Amino acid sequence: MSDQHTPEQATEVETTAVQAQPLQEAESRLQPIKWKFPITYALLALLSLSAFTFLSPTGAVTQFRLATASDFVTLPAVNIPSFAGALVLSLLQLGLAALAIYCAARRIKLGVWLPMLFGLFFVLAFLIYAGAGRGAFIPVVTLLAGALMLSVPLIFGAMCGLVGERSGIINIAIEGQLLAGAFLAAVAASFFTSAYVGLLAAPFAGAAVGGLLVWFAVKYHVNQIIVGVVLNVLVIGLTSFLYSTVLTQNSEMWNARQQLPRLPIPGLSQIPIIGPVLFNQTILVYLMYVIVFALHILVFKSRWGLRMRAVGEHPKAADTVGINVARTRIFNTVLAGGIAGLGGAYFTVGQGLAFGQEMSAGQGFIALAAMILGRWNPKGALLAALLFGFSSSVGQVLSTIGTPVPSEMLLMLPYVITIFAVAGFVGRVRPPAAEGVPYIK
């Protein structure tokens, strides 16, 4: 606090005789130059140059397939000479790194375009290297569609975490909420032999877990992280128990597969590359678009969002203007649970699978990571979740065409990136101020 205020302290006073000038000068002199990012770029670019370029077999070609059957225009497959392609991309990366270094030295700030462009070049170079001389196509559409598919539960989970934490409730139980949603969706869909009934039921399961979380947190002031961890165990225990008893005893009735149908959007779904990826999806995915877009607007521009953020930042201040802190937290956490429950439905009815024990397989924790990396922001969380989904998708595609990089490493990537993020490497992460703190009048 005092850090920030000191220099401006008395700007209100008319009798300012001491000028702020020397101080500011001193500041710019003493402000350390941030070398972290430029150096990272440089290292990654060198990695790309040394590994991806020079380890690519000479004369090899990397083939990318861009088309699917239903496109308006069928794009031809693209063949790129591996060495030359990787070399060009690596040089471009080096150029960006040099630019970053130059700007850092001159204390010039750069926009987000630089990391995004850099990332794109790096990933492309990697793909060229991974696919070099394999004789198989790298299916770009499959890769991207897979990325979106794998991101769906992450995005729902991250939105859930975001709504809860913005109102001050830390949610470690996203994993449990996804699992509960998957379970109830499968059971309800199977019982009523309708995937849509499953979709309707799933949010209630997630909301119930959210309800338990917020009940213990708000009413009994139990540490929210502990409640979250224990709720995960509870949901795993309950669903596994029911799976081993009821669901296996009569799987025809309770655990038969149901799948949400794909609903291609006429026209849009036929655009090359992005059409089949984005617009030939189930209603669940379209719902996800709506939820992310709505949260993007509502969190910052609506009365609901303003009050939610107030309660999460400074509950007492919210209370003094007549906002019911407990009610806001309860409502939002239950609502958030509903969102996660929907995401859970993706594991079962979303993909036409029966319920299996612990089928959420840690996705809830990646969702948590995506939310943190996205800095409690719908847009950021979306991008982070897509990034994580993409890295898993690359892992899957590469393991089918055979690649020198172990798929475990790619699967690890989201977790590693998140550790770097919370360690302050990817910029300062600043959670809602009153997160995890019970409000006691």
Element (H, E) at 108: none
Which region, judged by CB under 8 A, interacts with another protein, from 43-51, 75-83, 185-193, 415-423? Answer: 415-423
Contact flag: residue 102 with another protein (CB under 8 A): no
Instruction: Closer to another protein by CB, 261 or 406: give it.
Output: 406
Measured from the Cβ of residue 349, the count of other Cβ atoms closer than 10 Å reads: 30
Contact flag: residue 70 with another protein (CB under 8 A): no
Number of residues that bind another protein (CB under 8 A): 107
User: Scanning residues 256 to 315, which ones bind another protein (CB under 8 A)?
Assistant: 297-298, 301-304, 306-307, 309-310, 313-314
User: Scanning residues 305 to 364, which ones bind another protein (CB under 8 A)?
Assistant: 306-307, 309-310, 313-314, 316-324, 362
Q: What angle do CA 163, 164, 168 make, to 5 degrees?
A: 115
Which region, judged by CB under 8 A, interacts with another protein, from 26-34, 40-48, 81-89, 260-268? Answer: 26-34
Here's the x/- map for another protein, 221-250, by CB under 8 A: it reads as xxxxxxx-xxxxxx-xxx-xxx-xxx--x-
Instruction: Closer to another protein by CB, 30 or 73: give it.
Output: 30
Give DSSP secondary structure letters for 53-75: ITTSPTT-EEEEE---TT-SS-P
**Cα-atom radius of gyration of the chain, to the nearest Å?**
25
Here's the x/- map for another protein, 359-398, by CB under 8 A: it reads as ---x--xx-xx--x--------------------------
Contact flag: residue 17 with another protein (CB under 8 A): yes
**What are the C-alpha distances in Å from 237 to residues 171, 225, 226, 427?**
19, 19, 17, 38
Between the two ends of the chain, the Cα-to-Cα distance in Å is: 24
User: Scanning residues 165 to 184, which ones bind another protein (CB under 8 A)?
Assistant: 170, 172
Residue 414 Cβ vs another protein, minimum distance, rounded to whole Å: 8
Cβ contacts of residue 235 below 8 Å, gap of 6+? 173, 175, 176, 177, 179, 180, 209
Residue 169 Cβ vs another protein, minimum distance, rounded to whole Å: 11
- Answer for which of 109, 111, 266, 430 binds another protein (CB under 8 A) is 430
Distance CA 10, CA 89 (A): 52
Q: How is residue 261 written in tokens?
A: 């149908």
> Could you give the count of Cα atoms lying within 13 Å of 30 in the half-sphere of its Cβ?
6
Residue 64 Cβ vs another protein, minimum distance, rounded to whole Å: 27
Contact flag: residue 415 with another protein (CB under 8 A): yes
